[in-house]
């Protein structure tokens, strides 16, 4: 009798092992994967807006304006910081920490068994490590304002989203620097790794949850995941290339036309636009160059 | 077309090409990873073996046992290995032939070493403790079958009568799964299944594709399914089905071509449903 009333001697992780594994799998798809699709769609507008928006203005004019309007929309969503913390940062941290713990239970053996599936297994873990480092750098520099990690020291600010992002990628507001090229390459690798991680993870998630069972079904779902991966890669690559080749001074001119400073100040006074904490500094910084 | 990745087809093609090119009356070097006992260090020893037509690894090991002299003429102890049926149905003679896991009884020398002086390596499986030379202790493999109760419970005090009838469809699926001979190839090739010498760690480390597939086999059995919930509970615990990393090497190396990855996905589905039921029903 006493045995049935004794508490489960297993620890928290052991008792909830299955649930944690499934939450790990789920968090990779929703919210993280879903966000990645939205995020890459927004950022690649620096390229696709050239095709999909009305003619009559220069290409840069249309792309920067479209991107800047999207950023205004996102940064004026209600409860943005809560969405960020609970739908992005915490799920990413959860997914990454558990992922590292799970990855450590395996031992790659592609040297003996060089099957394509085995390479994907190994790359899934490698891309997780590199992707997490990239996300940390990406959020810390562009969202948390850790400018000491940015060559050129530019602070990303949402009313100047395109110009400050371009400056962060290019190593400053002027011509592209050596450090800027390195950061752009790091972005390209980081984005590529994360796209692979998501596409392959979506494929394995279908097996984990038991959606695809037969080899045929797994192959069919593989085609879907590959198509999604290729599309997201194209979007990611065009976003990185688009901003790495964008001149910050030109972008700033367009941003000021989309939302002139006096109009923004007025909207902010009326509470229709969120204030930008670092604004005066950045406006001066970019303009003086 | 040059294939970047190993595939079952490219391996079969390479072996068939070797077989066609095999030279009669040649001598082949056997490079064997040797170990004198549990916990002892390993060493490599070479043996020269004259290869008759149709020789397999076991027949060559028998030659070495009868002539325990290394290639450079030094007398040594006979090489120890494990074997049983010699027709690829018992799984006992599983080892690494040319670096890859398989049954040594069905490994033809012509496939691996077609020319005079060619080298063929033999190593014990790396995921199980070595007893001696090529002989390993596969106890954990059978222990993991016990974790999922891979049997039909029919022991009792009275006659249970005839079992339920099975559809031909279900019989077809189950027959394939029942061909598992517990050889350990899937475990050896699995990056998520690794050597664990301490038996008290076995219950929380990865159970392996073979046990997941056997759980599916017995959950589909008319009488065996009375233990279905217990099997699913075991697969949902530490070291269960979620430990699978989907490298899918298991299905590639399985000598019986058992659809192990389909079994893993099927048990993923079964535990998903079981988990939801348990979550809402308590």
Domains of chain B: 8-135 (3.10.20.30), 138-281 (1.10.1060.10)
Strand partners, B135: B132
A210 contacts B270? CB cut-off 8 A: yes
Comparing C-alpha atoms, which of B194, B211, B237 is closest to residue B144?
B211
Q: Are B254 and B208 in contact (CB under 8 A)?
A: no
Comparing C-alpha atoms, which of A227, A219, A212, A195 is closest to residue A117?
A219
- Residue A208 at interface with chain B, using a CB cutoff of 8 Å: yes
Is residue A3 over pLDDT 70? no
- Residue A9 at interface with chain B, using a CB cutoff of 8 Å: no
- Residue A211 at interface with chain B, using a CB cutoff of 8 Å: yes
Question: Which residues in chain A are closer than 8 Å to B5, comparing Cβ atoms?
Answer: 114-116, 119
A108 contacts B191? CB cut-off 8 A: yes
Question: Which residues in chain B are closer than 8 Å to A18, comparing Cβ atoms?
Answer: 236-237, 240, 242, 271, 275
Comparing C-alpha atoms, which of A286, A248, A132, A240 is closest to residue A194?
A132
Residue with token string 């004794």: A6
Question: Which residues in chain A are closer than 8 Å to B187, comparing Cβ atoms?
Answer: none
| Least confident residue range of A184-188, A257-261, B68-72, B184-188 | A257-261
Question: Which residues in chain B are closer than 8 Å to A14, comparing Cβ atoms?
Answer: 204, 237-238
Q: Are A255 and A159 in contact (CB under 8 A)?
A: yes
Residue with token string 């562009």: A142
pLDDT digits (tens, 9 = 90+) for A10-30: 888 888 999 999 999 999 999
Report the residue from A14, A112, A208 with minimal CB separation from B268.
Answer: A208
Q: How confident is the model at residue B1 (pLDDT cuts 50, 70, 90)?
A: very low
pLDDT digits (tens, 9 = 90+) for A239-279: 999 999 999 999 999 999 888 888 888 888 887 777 765 45
Is residue A206 over pLDDT 70? yes
The 8-class DSSP code of residue B227 comes to G
| Least confident residue range of A59-63, A269-273, B18-22, B207-211 | A269-273
Distance from CA of A63 to the nearest CA of B (A): 40
Is residue B278 over pLDDT 50? yes
Comparing C-alpha atoms, which of B199, B223, B192 is closest to residue B142?
B199
Report the residue from B99, B242, B265 with minimal CB separation from A213.
Answer: B265
> What is the chain B residue with the closest CA to A117?
B247
- Residue A14 at interface with chain B, using a CB cutoff of 8 Å: yes
Residue A21 lies in a domain: no
The whole-number average pLDDT for the span A160-182 is: 95
Is residue A204 over pLDDT 70? yes
Alpha-carbon distances of A226 from A45, A48, A195, A196, rounded to whole Å? 22, 21, 10, 9
B252 contacts A207? CB cut-off 8 A: no
Residue ranges of A 21-50 with Cβ closer than 8 A to chain B? 21-22
Question: Which residues in chain B are closer than 8 Å to A108, comparing Cβ atoms?
Answer: 191
For residue A154, give its domain range: 29-106+124-288
b/e string for B82-116 if b means 16 or more Cβ within 10 A? bbeebebbbbbbbbbbbebbbbbbbbbbbbbbbee
- pTM given for the model: 0.93
Backbone angles phi, psi at B191, to 5 degrees: -70, -15
Q: How many angstroms separate the most distant Cα atoms in chain B?
A: 71
Residue A33 lies in a domain: yes
| Least confident residue range of A177-186, A271-280, B170-179 | A271-280
Is residue A284 over pLDDT 70? no
Element holding B280 (H helix, E strand): helix B260-281
Residue ranges of A 94-123 with Cβ closer than 8 A to chain B? 105-109, 112-122
The pLDDT value given to residue B3: 55
The 8-class DSSP code of residue B100 comes to E
The pLDDT value given to residue A276: 67
- Residue B249 at interface with chain A, using a CB cutoff of 8 Å: yes
The pLDDT value given to residue A285: 44
Residue A12 lies in a domain: no
Distance from CA of B101 to the nearest CA of A (A): 9
B259 contacts A114? CB cut-off 8 A: no
Write out the two tokens for B121.
């390596």
Q: How confident is the model at residue A287 (pLDDT cuts 50, 70, 90)?
A: very low
Total domains in the fold of chain A:
1
A113 contacts B253? CB cut-off 8 A: yes
What number is the ipTM of this complex? 0.94
Is residue A283 over pLDDT 50? no
A22 contacts B265? CB cut-off 8 A: no
Write out the two tokens for A75.
């940064």
pLDDT digits (tens, 9 = 90+) for B132-150: 999 999 999 999 999 999 9
Residue A260 lies in a domain: yes
Dist. CA A167–CA A279, nearest whole Å: 16
Contacts of A269 (CB under 8 A, 6+ apart): none
The pLDDT value given to residue A264: 80
Residue A156 lies in a domain: yes
Which residue out of A14, A17, A24 would a mutagenesis test of the B interface target, given it has the greatest number of B Cβ atoms within 10 Å? Answer: A17
Is residue B2 over pLDDT 80? no
Alpha-carbon distances of A30 from A37, A42, A120, B239, B272, rounded to whole Å? 11, 18, 22, 25, 17
- Residue B240 at interface with chain A, using a CB cutoff of 8 Å: yes
Residue A15 lies in a domain: no
- Residue B275 at interface with chain A, using a CB cutoff of 8 Å: yes
Q: Are A174 and A289 in contact (CB under 8 A)?
A: yes
- Residue B203 at interface with chain A, using a CB cutoff of 8 Å: no
Is residue A220 over pLDDT 80? yes
The whole-number average pLDDT for the span A165-183 is: 95
The pLDDT value given to residue A282: 43
Q: Are B267 and B199 in contact (CB under 8 A)?
A: no
B189 contacts A209? CB cut-off 8 A: no
Strand-strand pairing, B27-35 and B42-50: antiparallel
A17 contacts B245? CB cut-off 8 A: no
Is residue B122 over pLDDT 50? yes
* pLDDT, greater one: A282 or A43: A43
The pLDDT value given to residue B154: 86
Is residue A235 over pLDDT 80? yes
A121 contacts B5? CB cut-off 8 A: no
The 8-class DSSP code of residue A115 comes to B
Alpha-carbon distances of B64 from A33, A112, A267, B81, B97, rounded to whole Å? 58, 26, 90, 11, 16
The whole-number average pLDDT for the span B186-210 is: 97
pLDDT digits (tens, 9 = 90+) for B69-105: 999 999 999 999 999 999 999 999 999 999 999 999 9
Distance from CA of B180 to the nearest CA of A (A): 19
Dist. CA A182–CA A199, nearest whole Å: 26
Dist. CA A144–CA A168, nearest whole Å: 13
Report the residue from A18, A115, A214 with minimal CB separation from B236.
Answer: A18
Q: Are B266 and B206 in contact (CB under 8 A)?
A: no
Neighbouring C-alpha atoms within 13 Å toward the C-beta of A183: 25
Which residue out of A209, A210, A211, A214 would a mutagenesis test of the B interface target, given it has the greatest number of B Cβ atoms within 10 Å? Answer: A210
Is residue A164 over pLDDT 60? yes
Write out the two tokens for A242.
């688009």
pLDDT digits (tens, 9 = 90+) for A71-129: 999 999 999 999 999 999 999 999 999 999 999 999 999 999 999 999 999 999 999 99
Element holding B119 (H helix, E strand): strand B119-123
Is residue A1 over pLDDT 60? no
């Amino acid at each position: 009798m006493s045995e049935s009333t004794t508490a489960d001697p297993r620890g928290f992780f052991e008792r909830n092992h299955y649930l944690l594994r499934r939450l790990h799998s789920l968090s990779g798809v929703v919210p993280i994967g879903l966000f990645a699709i939205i995020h890459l769609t927004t950022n690649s507008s620096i390229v696709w807006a050239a095709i999909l928006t009305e003619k009559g203005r220069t290409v840069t004019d249309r792309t920067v304006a479209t991107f800047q309007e999207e950023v205004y929309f996102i940064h004026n969503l209600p409860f943005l910081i809560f969405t960020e913390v609970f739908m992005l940062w915490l799920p990413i941290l959860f997914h990454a920490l558990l992922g590292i713990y799970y990855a450590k239970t395996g031992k790659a053996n592609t040297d003996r068994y060089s099957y394509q599936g085995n390479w994907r297994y190994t790359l899934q873990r490698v891309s997780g490590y590199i992707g997490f480092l990239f996300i940390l750098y990406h959020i810390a520099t562009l969202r948390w304002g850790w400018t000491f990690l940015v060559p050129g020291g530019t602070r990303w600010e949402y009313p100047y989203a395109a110009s400050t992002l371009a400056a962060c990628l290019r190593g400053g507001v002027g011509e592209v620097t050596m450090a800027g090229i390195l950061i752009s390459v790091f972005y390209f690798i980081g984005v590529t790794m994360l796209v692979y991680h998501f596409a392959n993870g979506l494929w394995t998630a279908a097996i984990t949850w038991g959606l695809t069972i037969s080899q045929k079904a797994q192959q069919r779902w593989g085609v879907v995941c590959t198509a999604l991966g290729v599309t997201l890669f194209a979007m990611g690559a065009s976003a990185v290339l688009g901003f790495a080749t964008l001149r910050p001074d030109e972008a700033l001119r367009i941003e000021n036309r989309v939302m002139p400073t006096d109009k923004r100040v007025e909207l902010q006074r009326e509470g229709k636009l969120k204030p930008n904490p670092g604004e005066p500094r950045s406006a001066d910084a970019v303009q003086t160059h | 077309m040059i294939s970047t990745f190993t595939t079952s087809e490219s391996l079969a093609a390479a072996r068939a090409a070797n077989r066609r090119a095999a030279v009669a009356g040649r001598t082949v070097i056997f490079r064997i990873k040797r170990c004198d006992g549990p916990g002892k260090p390993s060493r490599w020893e070479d043996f020269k073996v004259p290869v008759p037509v149709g020789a397999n690894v076991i027949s060559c090991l028998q030659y070495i046992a009868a002539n325990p002299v290394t290639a450079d003429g030094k007398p040594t102890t006979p090489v120890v290995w494990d074997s049983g049926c010699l027709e690829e149905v018992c799984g006992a003679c599983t080892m690494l032939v040319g670096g890859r896991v398989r049954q040594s009884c069905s490994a033809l020398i012509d496939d691996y070493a077609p020319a005079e002086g060619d080298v063929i390596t033999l190593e014990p499986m790396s995921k199980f403790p070595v007893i001696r030379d090529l002989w390993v202790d596969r106890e954990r493999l059978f222990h993991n079958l016990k974790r999922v109760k891979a049997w039909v419970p029919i022991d009792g005090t009275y006659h249970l009568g005839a079992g339920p009838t099975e559809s031909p469809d279900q019989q077809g699926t189950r027959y394939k799964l029942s061909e598992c001979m517990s050889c350990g190839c899937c475990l050896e090739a699995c990056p998520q299944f690794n050597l664990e010498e301490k038996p008290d760690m076995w219950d929380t480390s990865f159970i392996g594709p073979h046990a997941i597939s056997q759980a599916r086999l017995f959950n589909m059995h008319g009488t065996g399914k009375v233990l279905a919930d217990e099997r699913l509970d075991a697969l949902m615990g530490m070291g269960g089905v979620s430990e699978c990393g989907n490298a899918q090497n298991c299905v590639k190396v399985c000598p019986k071509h058992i659809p192990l990855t389909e079994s893993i996905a099927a048990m993923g589905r079964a535990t998903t449903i079981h988990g939801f039921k348990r979550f809402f029903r308590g």
